[in-house]
Amino acid sequence: MRARARINRKKALAVAIILLLLAIITILLLINRSSDQQAARPEVPEASIEPEAPPIITEEFTIPAGKTITELLAPAGFSASRVIEIREATMKVYDLARIPAGQKIRLLRQGESYTAFQLDLDPERYLEVDLTQSPPSASIKSHPVTRQLVLVEGIIKDSLIAAVNQAGEQDLLALMMAEIFGWVIDFYVDLRQDDSFRLLVEKKYINGQFSGYGPILAARFVNKNQVFEAYRYTFPDSGKADYFEAGGGSLRKEFLKSPLRYARITSRFSSSRLHPIRKIYRPHYGIDYAAPIGTPVQATADGVVTFAGWNGAAGRMVRIRHKNAYETMYLHLKSLAAGIKTGARVEGGQVIGYVGSSGESTGPHLDYRLLYHGKYVNPLSWKFQPAEPLPPRYQPDFEQKVRVLQMLLLFPATYF
Ligand SMILES: [Zn+2]
């Protein structure tokens, strides 16, 4: 019994010694390591440790109408001379004297001093003035944009715009669709109840907020039971993009169906019509589109302006010569678009003027005329040729991309 007790004491003593040894070794190791660290840590003189930079605080406010930049910045402690300095620095990229009311200004402050100010120019771009430099430097920057592919579908009950709004999208998307199909569908004359559409479009977001549409990548429009498809193809060499049918045929025809995206026809092509002012029967070799004053008028095909200006009963008008012996005329305009004068080159879809009621006219409307070999023809019934199809060398690449887009167009909208 005694012997066993002695053995146990010996065991306990041994364990205690081992534990003690372990503790000593651990402590030594710890000391060693910290001294290593001490040794490794460069000697930093106390004075140069950078205090942590204070956080950047953003003060944002909306520009009220009628306020100058000096008045806006005064409450933030900017002197008039400092504001002049800032204005001069920004003049190269933006004239601060023309700051738009309603836009947002952000002042970035770090500690007591303002380091920068930002002025939104549009949903995507903003002017930034770096105030830490003297003189301050200004540049135009873009907010980071996220893009999301969305499928939008709808059925026409009333108008294309109403159907697009019904699908939760903005009017602009309807106009973008009208632009793509505007060579094959007149969205005013041809549209029918229960026509339908499906399209894939990129939507852009800034800070989670919808900021605008990117391009429509693919669209399918059923008009009077006829299916029209459009696939966007970007030419790998030029980076230019255009729309083609699945087989590579061009969506473009020689001429757009209408010089206005959205307008009601009030008078058609006729060899004998009662003239609204002179009350006599005369030929009316044009199509009258009623639209609000100022509605943009687009050239219906590429060409050269042969006349732009005032012309008697026609009022302010534009005449364009196109290839293949075609000419078009746009009468009773309120004004011409910038750069529209004799000799100017225009592209199909380009805005050339604005709807008015100049000359012999009883109300705001556009009188649109088409001539072929110098003779008036009816633009609504004339058979136009399709434009050039996709050049064969792009076909394989195009087909590959179309296959993907066609598949996506079949997906339910909820999938996106
Ligand atoms: Zn007319």
Mean pLDDT of 248-253: 83
Dihedral over alpha carbons 293, 212, 174, 235 (to 10 degrees) = 110
Looking at residue 182, its pLDDT comes to 82
Q: Are 219 and 200 in contact (CB under 8 A)?
A: yes
Distances (CA, A) of 66 to 62, 100, 114, 119: 12, 9, 24, 16
The alpha carbon of 81 and the centre of ligand 1 are apart by a number of angstroms equal to 59
Written as one letter, the residue type at 198 is R
Provide, rounded to the nearest whole percent, the portion of the chain with pLDDT above 70: 94
Angle at alpha carbon of residue 355, lines to 213 and 314, rounded to 5°: 150
Q: Which residue has the higher pLDDT, 415 or 72?
A: 72
Mean pLDDT of 163-190: 87
Query: Sorting pLDDT into bands at 50, 70 and 90, what band is 18?
Result: confident
The alpha carbon of 361 and the centre of ligand 1 are apart by a number of angstroms equal to 8
Radius of gyration of the chain (CA): 36
- Whether the per-residue pLDDT at 312 is higher than 60: the answer is yes
Mean pLDDT of 329-356: 94
What b-and-e string marks burial along 198-235, b requiring 16 or more CB atoms within 10 Å of the CB? bbbbebbeeeeeebebeebbbbbbbbeeeebbbbbbee
Query: pLDDT tens digit string along 261-303?
Result: 767 788 889 988 887 777 888 899 999 998 889 989 999 998 9
CATH topology identical between 56-142 and 146-244: yes
* Neighbouring residues of the ion ligand 1, judged by CB less than 5 Å: 286, 288, 367
Angle at alpha carbon of residue 318, lines to 317 and 322, rounded to 5°: 155
Query: pLDDT tens digit string along 76-107?
Result: 889 988 888 888 888 888 888 777 777 788 89
Written as one letter, the residue type at 335 is S
How far is 323 from 387, CA to CA, in rounded Å? Answer: 12
Beta strand extents in 281-401 (DSSP E only):
281-284, 287-290, 296-298, 303-310, 316-321, 326-336, 345-346, 351-355, 365-372, 375-377
- Whether the per-residue pLDDT at 313 is higher than 70: the answer is yes
How far is 88 from 367, CA to CA, in rounded Å? Answer: 48
Output the average pLDDT for the chain.
87
Residue 85: helix, strand or coil by DSSP?
Answer: helix
Mean pLDDT of 334-361: 93
- Residues with Cβ within 8 Å of 211's Cβ and at least 6 positions away in sequence, in order, are 123, 124, 143, 145, 204, 205
The alpha carbon of 330 and the centre of ligand 1 are apart by a number of angstroms equal to 10
The alpha carbon of 341 and the centre of ligand 1 are apart by a number of angstroms equal to 22
The alpha carbon of 288 and the centre of ligand 1 are apart by a number of angstroms equal to 5
How far is 399 from 407, CA to CA, in rounded Å? Answer: 12
How far is 115 from 56, CA to CA, in rounded Å? Answer: 9
The alpha carbon of 360 and the centre of ligand 1 are apart by a number of angstroms equal to 9
Query: pLDDT tens digit string along 126-142?
Result: 889 999 888 889 898 98
Query: Sorting pLDDT into bands at 50, 70 and 90, what band is 168?
Result: very high
What's the CATH fold of domain 146-244?
Nuclear Transport Factor 2; Chain: A, (3.10.450)
Query: Sorting pLDDT into bands at 50, 70 and 90, what band is 49?
Result: low
Looking at residue 12, its pLDDT comes to 85
- Whether the per-residue pLDDT at 60 is higher than 60: the answer is yes
Q: Which residue has the higher pLDDT, 186 or 329?
A: 329
Query: pLDDT tens digit string along 200-225?
Result: 999 999 888 898 999 999 999 999 89
Domain boundaries, the chain: 56-142, 146-244, 264-377
Class of domain 264-377: mainly beta
The alpha carbon of 158 and the centre of ligand 1 are apart by a number of angstroms equal to 27
> pTM for the whole thing?
0.63
Which 8-state DSSP code applies to residue 357?
Answer: -
The alpha carbon of 264 and the centre of ligand 1 are apart by a number of angstroms equal to 13
State the architecture of 56-142 in CATH terms: Roll (3.10)
Residue 28: helix, strand or coil by DSSP?
Answer: helix
Least reliable range by pLDDT among 179-188, 215-224, 403-412: 179-188
Query: pLDDT tens digit string along 153-165?
Result: 999 998 899 999 9
CA 326 to chain centre: 33
